[in-house]
């Protein structure tokens, strides 16, 4: 697929990403609600935190209605086409770049990790403003109810640079997640091809994508928690959390290390299936375009 033009990466990434959002987005709302509620006994919101995915989900449905499980979905849908294109196309670009730079003929584990991490950094520049708006809209206390109004409010309060609030933890989240995702997929594919050479490609992609999506979350989730708390716009959080490592250590000291992973259940429930779905859908579409559409 070396000859596959960028626009086909764009189409494949968009189809995979947008359909995944529509199916799995409620779990993202649940994840954000769990992350932005502090585990401290006293907090400025005076809202008792929900400690489980099911309790959070039920409370949203009971108190706010089912439509609120899709609050803020416009932001990721608008973002999804360029985001997925950048994720996979950048990964492909950096694989070739590091192969040439390191004088390596084939993609190996090191190349996969470096390419994934580099693609994650590039992706974070685009993602941050949209993630900021999404997090604000997912917050039950947010007065702005639409993507446009929330966007305008942020610009009005903080200026254009305010749209990059939370960029530093976003960089770390995407760097770590992408490096883990693509690195794990590469390793699992190699193991499956070695020990189960007769298994189907689809089965291998399903296993590799699921494990890649799940395992990479364990490394990136603390950065995601910090990102959510900073982008939530809580004044106390903005004063306390200055940068990622400092914020992670502070949360660990004040609330315990489990607070950095208290949203792990909805994250795994989403990213396990999503990791497999995105990998299979993107690979299948790019293979289809390469075989039947693109003239080599």
In which residue are the tokens 């987005």 written? 25
Mean pLDDT by 10 residues, the chain (296 residues): 67 85 93 81 48 89 93 89 77 89 89 89 91 90 84 91 93 90 88 89 89 90 94 84 94 93 91 86 86 70
Sign of torsion, CA 147 132 184 85? positive
Domains belonging to the chain, first-starting first, are 6-291 (1.50.40.10)
The long-range contacts involving 185-193, CB below 8 angstroms and separated by at least 24 positions, are 185/112, 185/209, 185/211, 185/212, 185/279, 186/107, 186/108, 186/109, 186/112, 187/109, 187/112, 188/212
Any idea what DSSP says for residue 38?
-
Residues in the chain, total: 296
Tokens of 132: 């900021």
pLDDT at site 296: 54
The long-range contacts involving 111-115, CB below 8 angstroms and separated by at least 24 positions, are 112/182, 112/183, 112/185, 112/186, 112/187, 113/179, 113/182, 113/183, 114/179, 115/91, 115/182
Predicted TM-score (pTM) of this structure? 0.82
Q: Judging by beta carbons within 10 Å of its beta carbon (0-12, 13-18, 19+), is residue 205 exposed, middle or buried?
A: buried
pLDDT at site 3: 56
Check: CB of residue 28 under 8 Å from CB of residue 70: no
Check: CB of residue 216 under 8 Å from CB of residue 172: no
């Amino acid at each position: 697929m070396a000859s596959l033009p960028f626009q086909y990466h764009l189409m494949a990434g968009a189809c995979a990403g947008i359909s995944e959002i529509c199916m799995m987005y409620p779990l993202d709302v649940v994840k954000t609600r769990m992350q932005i509620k502090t585990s401290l006994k006293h907090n400025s919101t005076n809202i008792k935190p929900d400690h489980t995915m099911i309790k959070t989900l039920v409370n949203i449905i009971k108190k706010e209605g089912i439509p609120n499980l899709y609050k803020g979905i416009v932001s990721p849908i608008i973002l999804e086409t360029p985001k997925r294109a950048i994720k996979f196309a950048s990964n492909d670009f950096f694989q070739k770049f590091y192969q040439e730079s390191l004088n390596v003929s084939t993609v190996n584990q090191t190349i996969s990790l470096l390419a994934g991490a580099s693609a994650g950094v590039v992706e974070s520049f685009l993602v941050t403003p949209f993630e900021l708006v999404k997090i604000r809209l997912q917050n039950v206390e947010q007065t702005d109810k639409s993507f446009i109004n929330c966007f305008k409010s942020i610009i009005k309060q903080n200026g254009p640079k305010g749209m990059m609030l939370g960029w530093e933890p976003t960089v770390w989240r995407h760097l770590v997640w992408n490096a883990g995702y693509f690195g794990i997929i590469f390793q699992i594919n190699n193991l499956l091809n070695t020990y189960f050479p007769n298994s189907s490609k689809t089965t291998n992609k399903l296993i590799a994508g699921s494990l890649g999506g799940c395992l990479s979350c364990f490394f990136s989730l603390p950065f995601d928690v910090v990102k959510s708390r900073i982008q939530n716009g809580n004044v106390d959080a903005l004063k306390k959390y200055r940068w990622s490592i400092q914020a992670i250590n502070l949360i660990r000291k004040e609330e315990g290390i489990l607070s950095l992973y208290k949203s792990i259940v909805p994250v795994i429930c989403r990213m396990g299936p999503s990791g497999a779905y995105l990998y299979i859908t993107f690979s299948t579409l790019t293979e289809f375009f390469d075989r039947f559409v693109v003239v080599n």
